[in-house]
Chains A and B, each alone.
Chain A
Amino acid sequence: MKKITRRDFNKLIGTFGMVSTLKTIGMGPTILLAAERRVVVVGGGFGGATAAKYLRMMDPNLRVTLVEPKRSYFTCPFSNLMLGGLKKMGELTHSYEKLQKKYGVNVVHASATRIDASSKNVILQDGQNLPYDRLIVAPGVDMRYDQIENYSVDDIKDIPHAWKGETSTLLLLQQLEAMSDGGKVLICPPALPYRCPPGPYERASLIAHYLKKHKPRSKILIFDAKEQFPKQALFSSGWENLYGHMIEWFNRSAGGLILKVDAKGMAVETEFGRETGDVINLIPAQWAGKIARDSGLVDKSGWCPVDQLTFESKLHKGIHVIGDSAIAGSMPKSGFSASNQAKITASAIIALLNEKAPTSATMANTCYSFLSQDYAISVSAIYQLSGKEIVSVKGSGGISSLDADLSVRRAEAIYAQGWYDSITNDMFG
Chain B
Amino acid sequence: MTIKKNLIKMLLIFWFVMVIGSLFGGFSLLAQAEDQKGEMLALSCTSCHGTHGLSPGAMPTLFGKSLKYLEQSMQEFKYDQRAATVMQRIAKGYTLEEIRLISEYFASLYIEKSVK
* Chain A interface residues (CB < 8 Å from chain B): 1-4, 7-8, 11-12, 15, 54, 56-59, 102-104, 336, 339-340, 343-344, 347, 350, 359, 361-364, 366, 378, 380-382, 392-393, 395-398, 400, 408, 411-412, 414-415, 417-423, 425-426, 429
A3 touching B110 in the complex, CB below 8 Å, given contacts A58-B30, A396-B92, A419-B59: yes
Bound-complex Cα distance A361 to B45 (A) = 12
A425 touching B28 in the complex, CB below 8 Å, given contacts A344-B43, A364-B47, A380-B86: no
Bound-complex Cα distance A1 to B31 (A) = 12
A418 touches B85 (CB 8 A): no
The residue that A398 contacts in the complex, of B35, B57, B89, B94, with Cβ under 8 A, is: B89
A2 touches B29 (CB 8 A): no
Residues of A within 8 A of B98 (CB): 362
Bound-complex Cα distance A165 to B57 (A) = 25
B25 touches A361 (CB 8 A): no
A58 touches B29 (CB 8 A): yes
A-B residue pairs, 5 tightest by C-beta: A382-B93, A418-B58, A421-B57, A396-B93, A396-B92
A15 touches B31 (CB 8 A): no
A400 touching B85 in the complex, CB below 8 Å, given contacts A361-B41, A418-B57, A425-B50: yes
| Chain B interfacial residues counted at CB < 8 A | 42
Residues of A within 8 A of B40 (CB): 344, 347, 359, 361
| Minimal Cβ-Cβ distance residue in B for A380 | B89
Residues of B within 8 A of A362 (CB): 41, 44, 93-94, 98
A56 touches B25 (CB 8 A): yes
Bound-complex Cα distance A204 to B56 (A) = 29
Residues of A within 8 A of B48 (CB): 366, 418-419, 422-423
B108 touches A2 (CB 8 A): yes
B109 within 8 A of A: yes
B81 within 8 A of A: no
The residue that B108 contacts in the complex, of A1, A400, A411, A420, with Cβ under 8 A, is: A1
Bound-complex Cα distance A8 to B25 (A) = 12
* Chain B interface residues (CB < 8 Å from chain A): 22, 24-31, 35-37, 40-41, 43-51, 55-59, 85-86, 89-94, 98, 108-112
Residues of A within 8 A of B35 (CB): 2
A380 touching B90 in the complex, CB below 8 Å, given contacts A339-B47, A422-B48: yes
Bound-complex Cα distance A339 to B94 (A) = 19
| Minimal Cβ-Cβ distance residue in B for A339 | B47
A340 touching B44 in the complex, CB below 8 Å, given contacts A366-B86, A396-B89, A397-B90: yes
The residue that B59 contacts in the complex, of A7, A11, A344, A418, with Cβ under 8 A, is: A418
Bound-complex Cα distance A340 to B48 (A) = 10
A4 touching B111 in the complex, CB below 8 Å, given contacts A418-B55, A421-B58, A422-B50: yes
A336 touches B108 (CB 8 A): no
| Minimal Cβ-Cβ distance residue in A for B55 | A422
| Minimal Cβ-Cβ distance residue in B for A424 | B56
Residues of A within 8 A of B93 (CB): 362, 364, 381-382, 392-393, 395-397
Bound-complex Cα distance A417 to B110 (A) = 26
Bound-complex Cα distance A421 to B56 (A) = 6
Residues of A within 8 A of B27 (CB): 2, 4, 8
Residues of B within 8 A of A57 (CB): 25-26, 29
| Minimal Cβ-Cβ distance residue in A for B46 | A426
A104 touches B25 (CB 8 A): yes
Seed contacts A2-B31, A58-B29, A412-B85; 7 additional CB < 8 Å A-B pairs: A12-B25, A340-B43, A366-B48, A408-B85, A418-B58, A421-B59, A422-B57
Bound-complex Cα distance A11 to B29 (A) = 11
Q: Can you give 15 contacting A-B residue pairs, CB < 8 Å?
A: A1-B108, A1-B110, A3-B111, A4-B27, A12-B28, A361-B43, A364-B47, A366-B86, A382-B94, A396-B93, A418-B48, A418-B55, A418-B57, A422-B55, A422-B59
